[in-house]
Amino acid sequence: MSSDWRATRVDEIRSLIHRAAPGVVEEAKWKKPSNPDGVPTFSLDGLICTVETYKAKVKVTFAKGASLPDPAGLFVPATGGTRRAVDLAESDDLDADAFVALVQAAVALDRD
């Protein structure tokens, strides 16, 4: 396993979010001793998603994911709640077009 795959994956996700939502604001929130850089959050007319790194995956959590269409099945199965997440391991392929569509749907939902 390469040591920098998560950073590369986060950069890929960040690029797709900016492509999907021009003008998106990225902020680092929830800084703490165990995560001094905080959690990247992306907002545009409301919170779109957060991006967190773990040992074996990068997790993109959509604040209102339960209300978003997901025809490509990117979200991990979930029950209850309003959030939904996309978990990506090092070897996973990300359907860029489907991910961009999720971000665009999240922005549209915040604007309604």
| Residue 97 confidence (pLDDT) above 50 | yes
Whole-number Å distance between alpha carbons of 51 and 9: 10
- Kindly report the pTM of this predicted structure: 0.92
Q: How confident is the model at residue 78 (pLDDT cuts 50, 70, 90)?
A: confident
Instruction: Give per-residue pLDDT as tens, 9-54.
Output: 999 999 999 999 999 999 999 998 888 889 999 999 999 999 999 9
Do residues 103 and 21 lie in contact, with contact meaning Cβ atoms separated by under 8 Å? yes
Whole-number Å distance between alpha carbons of 62 and 34: 23
End-to-end, the C-alpha distance of the chain in Å comes to: 43
Q: CA angle, corner 68, sides to 102 and 37, nearest 5?
A: 60
